Amino acid sequence: MQAKDSEPHAFLSLTSHLDLMASNRISYEFDWTGPSMTIKTGCSATMICLDAACKALAAGDCDAAIVGGTNMMLSPAFHCALGAQGVNSPDGRCRSFDADALGYGRAEAVSALVVKRLDDAIRDGNPIRAVIRSTVCNDDGRTPGITQPSSEAHEALIRAAYTAAGLSEDEYGQTGFFECHGTGTPVGDPIEVNAVARVFGKVGMIIGSVKSNVGHSESASGNTSIIKAILAMEHGIIPANVNFDTPNPKSRLSSSPSAASILLT
């Protein structure tokens, strides 16, 4: 919006509104000298930031990291672009995993996670809300369309995360809940669910997506999902998915006919 306005001073246009300056501006104001970067990978942005933060902590590049995510709807331009691509839900709601899912409802969010090495957090007496066992990332590669995910890549990523955490396939059953991306698109949801089913379908588990509750906050949505999972563990309650009535018939909810089904909260 500022780039289209001819009135602001040209100098401020370079140091204020460019998104590449956002993280550096925060580091400048607080005098932080560790790795500082703005990562734009769409809906996965804050998850990729978290992976980068954990790797920086492990490498000793910093002693603490803040993973921030922001999504603000300040003009109708991007909403119109999504509508033209058929991404928006007609009623503005996310119907995650549902047979009637036709797109997602957009949401705003501003969030931040503070991450430290566990030993340091214990030493400093910090309130520890959750422990991260491992982080990994990958790409879907060549799929039928650049916006269409790969079920095989999803499965490989899950298994890689467990391997990195030192957990064998025999220990997959210890995971009782999987927070999915689950935006409520007719193509993406089944691809993700089928990947989860191939990994956990033999033992059964509960899956969910916070987007049906609060909407899809796009570039900040990864943080939203992590915060939901942390709160669920703290309170011992998995929030129910709203707008869910009939499972998407394209979702294979178990890995074999006799397997326990994956349950949708």
Spell out the SS3 assignment of the chain: CHHHCCCCCHHHHHHCCCHHHHHHHHHHHHCCCCCCCCCCCHHHHHHHHHHHHHHHHHHCCCCEEEEEEEECCCCCHHHHHHHHCCCECCCCCCCCCECCCCCECECCEEEEEEEECHHHHHHCCCCCCCCCCCCCCCCCCCCCCCCCCCHHHHHHHHHHHHHHCCCCHHHHHHCCEEECCCCCCCCHHHHHHHHHHHHHCCCCCEEECCHHHHCECHHHHHHHHHHHHHHHHHHCCCCCCCCCCCECCCCCCCCCCCCCCCEEC
Per-residue pLDDT at 204: 80
Instruction: Say which CATH number the domain at 189 has.
Output: 3.40.47.10
Angle (CA) 110-221-171 rounded to 5° is: 130
Per-residue pLDDT at 9: 64
Per-residue pLDDT at 255: 45
Per-residue pLDDT at 253: 59
Q: Tens of pLDDT along 83-94? A: 888 899 998 999
Instruction: Provide the domain limits for residue 69.
Output: 39-264
Per-residue pLDDT at 258: 34
Question: Do the domain assignments include residue 10?
Answer: no
Question: Do the domain assignments include residue 9?
Answer: no
Low pLDDT (below 50) residues in the chain: 254-265
Question: Do the domain assignments include residue 26?
Answer: no
Per-residue pLDDT at 20: 82
Question: Do the domain assignments include residue 144?
Answer: yes
Neighbours of 97 (CB within 10 A): 27
Question: Do the domain assignments include residue 20?
Answer: no
DSSP lists the bridge partners of residue 263 as 206
Angle (CA) 200-204-207 rounded to 5° is: 80
- Contact between residue 103 and residue 185 where contact means Cβ atoms under 8 Å apart: yes
Q: Tens of pLDDT along 93-118? A: 999 999 999 999 999 999 999 999 99
The CA R_g of the chain, rounded to the nearest whole Å, is 20
CA distance 235 to 233: 6
Per-residue pLDDT at 257: 38
Question: Do the domain assignments include residue 5?
Answer: no
Question: Do the domain assignments include residue 32?
Answer: no
Q: How many domains are contained in the chain?
A: 1
